Amino acid sequence: PTRPLIAPSLLAADFARLKEEVIAVEQAGADWLHLDVMDGHFVPNITFGPLVVKALRPHTKMPLDVHLMIAPADPYVTAFAEAGADHISVHPEAGPHLHRTLQLIRSLGKKAGVVLNPATPIEAVVNVLDLTDLIMVMTVNPGFGGQAFLSSQLSKISALRTLIDESGRDIVLQIDGGITAKTAPAVLAAGATCLIAGTAVYGAPDYAEAITAIREAAPP
């Protein structure tokens, strides 16, 4: 199997030291930086917006993987693109026209992602695969870090693996929520290619050790 991409989620970092926390995971071997944007409306928590993405952009070469948990998303997509996001992912529930939102993200030269909540079926993405660079499966309900991994989502991950393979498209299959060295093996066995981890990285004493433990977690 190919080496999975590891994307630490800044949500679990020390917000008083964001720049240092970004640099630390890059030096620890992270592939992408995951940025959770929450509006207190689409999800019951508030984090940060494009100003923070812009402030961090000069301090890392890692692709910035921006996860928008905001509704509506469309009015803010351009601001995140201009702030330096490399990937912009949206929930189908965050707007009435997912196809148009993905077109907008692509038109700004960014990779476009679709995020599926635990209750959202894979059908939500089936008809927009031609505009999709990333599919993210939520293995917790979005809004907070440190929640328990929902193993009910493993069959969805497997089904998406099959869908992506049959499409012949180059789509990254990301998993977000409750990822640890213990939950990673089943997720990798189901066909994920990118693991997002907040608490398991930023809550660990040694970030490099934590990233390696997740990346090298052997499928069962």
Partner residues linked to 172 by β-bridges: 134
Smallest distance, Å, CB 131 to ligand DX5? Answer: 22
Q: From Zn ion, ligand DX5, none, which one binds at residue 147 (CB under 5 to 8 Å depending on kind)?
A: ligand DX5
Smallest distance, Å, CB 146 to Zn ion? Answer: 12
C-alpha to C-alpha distances, 143 to 42, 76, 177, nearest whole angstrom = 9, 19, 10
How many other CB atoms sit within 10 Å of the CB of residue 174?
Answer: 27
Among 21, 31, 36, 65, binds Zn ion (CB under 5 A): 36
**Catalytic status, residue 36:** yes
∠ CA(139), CA(5), CA(193), 5° rounding? 60
Kindly tell me which of 62 and 162 has the beta carbon lying closer to Zn ion: 62
Q: From Zn ion, ligand DX5, none, which one binds at residue 143 (CB under 5 to 8 Å depending on kind)?
A: ligand DX5
- Using CB under 6 A, list all residues that contact ligand DX5: 9, 11-12, 34, 36, 67, 140, 142-143, 145-147, 176-179, 196-200
Contacts 24+ apart (CB under 8 A), 208-212: 208/27, 208/28, 208/29, 210/28, 210/181, 211/6, 211/8, 211/25, 211/28, 211/29, 211/30, 212/29
Nearest residue (beta carbon) to ligand DX5: 198
Active-site residue, from 31, 36, 39, 133: 36
Smallest distance, Å, CB 121 to Zn ion? Answer: 20
Smallest distance, Å, CB 216 to ligand DX5? Answer: 18
Q: From ligand DX5, Zn ion, none, which one binds at residue 145 (CB under 5 to 8 Å depending on kind)?
A: ligand DX5
3-state SS assignment for residue 126:
helix
**Cα–Cα distance, 178 to 181 (Å, whole number):** 10
